[in-house]
Amino acid sequence: MGKTLWRPLVRGPLGWWQSRDGVVEDAVLALVLTGLAFVPTLSKIGAQIGDLPGRPADALSAVLASAQTLPLVLRRRSPALCLAVVGTAFAVDQALGYPTTFGSLGLYVALYSAGAGRTRFRRAVAGAASAGYVVLAVVLHGRGSPQGVSDYLAFYASLVALWLVGNSMRRRRMAEEERRRLAAEAATAAERARIARELHDVVTHHVTAMVVQADAAQFVLASAPERVAEGLTAVSGTGRRALSELRQLLGVLEATGESATADRGPALGRVTDLVEQARMAGQPVEFAEHGERRPQAVDVELACYRVVQEALTNALKYASGRRTVVLVRHGAEGVEIEVTTVAPEPSAPATPPPVPAGGRGLAGLRERLRMLDGELVTGPGPDGTFAVRAVIPSKPVQE
């Protein structure tokens, strides 16, 4: 019960703080450290080197304490400038022997920020900071500091450690940004490949059907002129379907988020449209469906449709006029599709010349199914047939 009451009180301020940009965070940090620098009970906590005789605090000490904290506002935008101002104020404060304040911890923050920031001339900044520390050590020794060489080296080592921690964070951040960049490029390349596959499947299938239908119309022009009108009607219908699918694909490319995944393309139920289109192109196609059809994921539905589409396109291109059998089996583990083009009968009538070969339809189809853990097997059979068989595992989705 106590945790339930405290969570809203904590999440509110935490969410507000996380939504602020870096400039606001640095400003808040600088103001908090400045305020704490003038709290007497925190005076023993801070950075100190030299152990010079104590000097009473005055207006100059207040200015130097503020100069070690307020420049932290610039620690991300200008880390080198921030370190130069804070480091100089710290050195003057130590050389004059003023009492230690909590604000001297600003030196540690500035060093870390300089190491973590993407400052140009990093080596020059590190060299200048080291040279400044050597000058401070010489001044402190000249003013009678009881510190020895080992003490100065130990304090310098702590400062270097802070710089290296920041540098390590910078490298890690750069590596993460590089990983994200490569991931974004890979995602972009994958999306381009997906778009290329979709365009190939849509354009190749419909254009092939139109070419075959137009060739068939020319072929029967002399022998059966009354069938030319049917062929031209089929070409017109195929063109309209191509435009419809292209508009749908362009709409998906323009959409984002859920709208892009909700209507990725034709569903499995429209396979019969492909069969009818192939028949209108003069391809004798037999269609059979076994098992109970159940709702599937969008990617699975689209993959099944594209398998039939690509197989019928190849049949029209390479085996125009041959009997083709499309078989779809629905099972508990997924969907199995088999498209077989039967060898022509010895007495089969002459057909128009085949459409020129070319393209990467089957290769793109294999890649599509591989992303769904599916399998695509193609090849000729012993009786002269050519089969395209796809197995696409899936789990039915709830309506």
- Which pTM was predicted? 0.55
The three-point CA angle 351-355-361 to 5° equals 130
In the chain, the percentage of residues whose pLDDT exceeds 90 is 21
Mean predicted lDDT score pLDDT of the chain: 78
Dump pLDDT digits (tens) for 291-314: 888 888 888 888 888 888 888 888
Which segment of 46-55, 168-177, 267-276 scores lowest on mean pLDDT?
A: 267-276
| 18 pLDDT above the threshold of 60 | no
List C-alpha distances in Å: 89 to 82, 132, 142, 204, 367. Answer: 11, 12, 19, 73, 64
Query: In the prediction, which pLDDT does 276 show?
Result: 85
Which residue, 247, 224, 236, is CA-closest to 281? 236
CB 48 within 8 A of CB 94: yes
What is the pLDDT confidence band of residue 353, given thresholds at 50, 70 and 90? very low
Query: In the prediction, which pLDDT does 265 show?
Result: 55
Query: In the prediction, which pLDDT does 77 show?
Result: 87
Query: In the prediction, which pLDDT does 118 show?
Result: 72
Q: Which residue is it, tokens 């050389």?
A: 95
Q: How far apart are CA 25 and CA 32, in angstroms?
A: 11
Mutual orientation of helices 59-67 and 79-96 as an angle, nearest 10°? Answer: 150
Which residue, 188, 191, 192, 202, is CA-closest to 302? 202
- Domain boundaries in the chain? 17-147, 195-393
What is the pLDDT confidence band of residue 110, given thresholds at 50, 70 and 90? very high
Dump pLDDT digits (tens) for 163-218: 999 999 999 988 998 898 888 788 777 767 777 776 766 676 667 667 666 766 66
Q: Which residue has the higher pLDDT, 178 or 266?
A: 178
Element of type H or E holding 213: helix 149-219
Q: Any residues with CB less than 8 A from the CB of 193 and at least 6 apart, and which?
A: 364, 367
**Burial class, 124, CB count within 10 angstroms (exposed 0-12 / middle 13-18 / buried 19+):** exposed
DSSP state of 323: -
Query: In the prediction, which pLDDT does 97 show?
Result: 87
DSSP state of 372: T
Tokens linked to 51: 């152990």
| 262 pLDDT above the threshold of 50 | no
Phi, psi of 69 (to 5 degrees): -125, -45
Three-class HEC string of 11-41: HHHHHHHHHCCHHHHHHHHHHHHHHHCCCHH
The three-point CA angle 214-379-212 to 5° equals 0
| 102 pLDDT above the threshold of 50 | yes
Query: In the prediction, which pLDDT does 360 show?
Result: 59
Other Cβ atoms within 10 Å of 112 Cβ, number: 21
Query: In the prediction, which pLDDT does 382 show?
Result: 75
Q: Any residues with CB less than 8 A from the CB of 232 and at least 6 apart, and which?
A: 217
Dump pLDDT digits (tens) for 210-260: 766 676 666 666 566 666 666 666 667 667 766 666 666 666 555 444 444
| 76 pLDDT above the threshold of 80 | yes
Question: Which range scores top for mean pLDDT: 38-47, 143-152, 253-262, 340-349?
Answer: 143-152
Q: Are strands 375-380 and 324-330 parallel, antiparallel or unpaired?
A: unpaired
Tokens linked to 117: 């920031």
195-393: CATH homologous superfamily?
A: Histidine kinase-like ATPase, C-terminal domain (3.30.565.10)
Sequence-distant contacts of 134-140: CB under 8 A, at least 24 apart: 135/91, 136/49, 136/91, 136/94, 136/95, 139/91, 139/95, 140/49, 140/50, 140/52, 140/94, 140/95
Single-letter amino acid, residue 342: V
What is the pLDDT confidence band of residue 342, given thresholds at 50, 70 and 90? confident
Other Cβ atoms within 10 Å of 95 Cβ, number: 17
Which residue, 196, 235, 195, is CA-closest to 214? 235
Q: What is the average per-residue pLDDT within 249-272?
A: 57
CB 83 within 8 A of CB 122: no
Query: In the prediction, which pLDDT does 312 show?
Result: 86
| Residues in the chain, total | 399
